[in-house]
Amino acid sequence: MSDQEILAMDKVPPRAAAKYLSESLLSVHYGLQQRTAPYGYAVKHPGGKWTYNISPGLLVAYKRGTLKIEVQAS
């Protein structure tokens, strides 16, 4: 997938993000669930079902290496 195809989406499906990043779908799911993927997040609903929200702009910036991330000490 190209940057333009990703940026044309409102929300990126996890399968498309995995293909775009050349990663497994499982690694995208785990990264979002554990909040280690800076391009989106996952929500666990009652009953155990997960939903995923991936930002097209953040995903492209992450792949390009231009996503700025600030880490704050707790």
Which tens digits make up the pLDDT trace of 2-23? 999 999 999 999 999 999 999 9
Q: Are 40 and 52 in contact (CB under 8 A)?
A: yes
Tokens 């929500």 belong to residue: 43
Domain ranges for the chain? 3-64
pTM listed for this prediction: 0.86
Give the CATH number of domain 3-64. 1.10.1660
What is the b/e burial string over 5-31, where b = at least 16 CB atoms within 10 angstroms of the residue's CB? ebeeeeebebebbbebbeeeeeebbeb
pLDDT tens track, the chain, 74 positions: 899 999 999 999 999 999 999 999 999 999 999 999 999 999 999 999 999 999 999 999 999 988 877 666 66
What is the percent of the chain where pLDDT is above 70?
A: 93
At residue 8, φ and ψ (nearest 5 deg) are: -80, -10
